[in-house]
Amino acid sequence: MLILIQLLSPLIKVTSSIPESSLDYIDGYLFEHAPSPWIVEIDKLTDGMVLTGYFASQSEMLNETLLLKNELKDILVFNFSEENLQDTDWKNSYKKHFKAWSYNRFHLVPLWLKDDYNIPANNHALFLDPGMAFGTGNHESTRMCIEFMVDDANSKICGDSFVDLGCGSGILSIAASVLGFSNVLGFDNDEDAVRISSENASVNNLRNDVQFQVIDLNKMIPSFGKFDYVTANIQADILISNAEKILSLSKPNSIIILSGILATEVEQVCDCFKNLKPYGDIQTKFKRMGDWASVRIIKSDCG
């Protein structure tokens, strides 16, 4: 997920060391509260882990640190130190956390590397604005979604229409357009997420090729429409509680990608979708990266 940061001078940086045993809890917190001002940094020399947050104001810093402490107070204690960063310091620190990556001829690249990053012929590239922070598709849950999408696009079995539920920064919707879907929709219940998604689409010269809308999945009307390819990179409990609605958005013989799932929860998610008998035959396959998992569903039904 991405959030647009106004580069003010100075910014406030707070840090706290964290034990390696707490990483799963921190990672889960960051994913569930995305977009988030927090990142985890690892010292390659000492293998020590530090939680770092960047804030535009003292009040924002106090609110976010209090929220973090209250939610994880039974797991670990934070010992934050604080410093002010000038704008140039922030930009240099910021770039360290953006890494280009590629998978099977698909490349996800920070925009500031556009002129230096070589895109081979017949490859696809998605560029992200470096002024947007805290997630460039590097999270395992997003990468696995894109890997499924790339494989399906290359095998030409994924149809034409695409919808992303909870689009966040718009990465999956934009990737779908880059991969050849011509009817692409991303929606989120957060107006800022939809705005940022549109900005990312514009960066990739796709402003008119991808549609983003403010829609609450819980309030979506039954006649919303059906799609050949559905993605939902949210979290397990929301996927489970909205399983029937997610399936109702998919056409017969469609593909559904579910992500944002802890590996310990993947069987529960798969069982939930398989047990919705009115939707016919549900075949599942899942990937795992670290502590996260993504599920690919092929739904064969009568529509």
Domain covering 101-300 in this structure, CATH number: 3.40.50.150
Question: How many of the other CB atoms lie within 10 Å of CB of 81?
Answer: 10
Order of strands across the sheet that contains 227-233:
210-214, 183-188, 161-165, 227-233, 250-262, 292-300, 281-289
Residue ranges, comma separated, of all CATH 3.40.50.150 domains in the chain are 101-300
Cα separation of the two ends of the chain:
32
Q: Compute the half-sphere exposure of residue 57: CA atoms within 13 Å on the CB side of its CA.
A: 4
How far apart (Å, rounded) are the C-alpha atoms in residues 284 and 274?
8
How far apart (Å, rounded) are the C-alpha atoms in residues 284 and 295?
7
In this predicted structure, what is the pLDDT of residue 1? Answer: 29
In this predicted structure, what is the pLDDT of residue 182? Answer: 87
In this predicted structure, what is the pLDDT of residue 2? Answer: 32
Per residue in 211-262, pLDDT tens? 999 998 877 766 678 999 999 998 899 999 999 999 989 988 899 999 999 9
What is the torsional sign of CA 122, 133, 18, 8? positive
Residue ranges, comma separated, of all CATH 3.30.70.120 domains in the chain are 3-95
In this predicted structure, what is the pLDDT of residue 140? Answer: 87
Give the pair of three-digit tokens for residue 73: 């107070």
In this predicted structure, what is the pLDDT of residue 169? Answer: 83
Type of residue found at 2: L
In this predicted structure, what is the pLDDT of residue 219? Answer: 78
* Residues of the chain below pLDDT 50: 1-9, 130-135, 302-303
Per residue in 28-63, pLDDT tens? 888 777 667 888 887 666 667 889 888 888 888 999
What is the torsional sign of CA 40, 43, 44, 47? negative
3-state secondary structure 171-186: HHHHHHHHCCCCEEEE
- Which one is the CATH code of 3-95: 3.30.70.120, 3.40.50.1220, 2.30.40.10, 3.30.10.20? 3.30.70.120
How far apart (Å, rounded) are the C-alpha atoms in residues 113 and 101?
12
Type of residue found at 190: D
Please name the helix (run of DSSP H) or strand (run of DSSP E) that holds residue 92, with its range, or none. Answer: helix 87-95
